Amino acid sequence: MEYPDLVRRFRVSGVPKTVINESADILGAVPEAEFVTTVVNG
pLDDT average, residue stretch 4-31: 88
* Tens digit of each residue's pLDDT (9 = 90 or more) over 22-36: 888 898 889 999 999
Cα–chain-centroid distance for residue 25? 3
- Strands (DSSP E) found in 1-42: 17-20, 24-27
Amino acid at 32: E
Supply φ then ψ for residue 24, to 5 degrees.
-135, 150
pTM as predicted: 0.59
> Residue 4: CB partners within 8 Å, gap ≥ 6?
none
> Residue 38: CB partners within 8 Å, gap ≥ 6?
20, 24, 26, 30
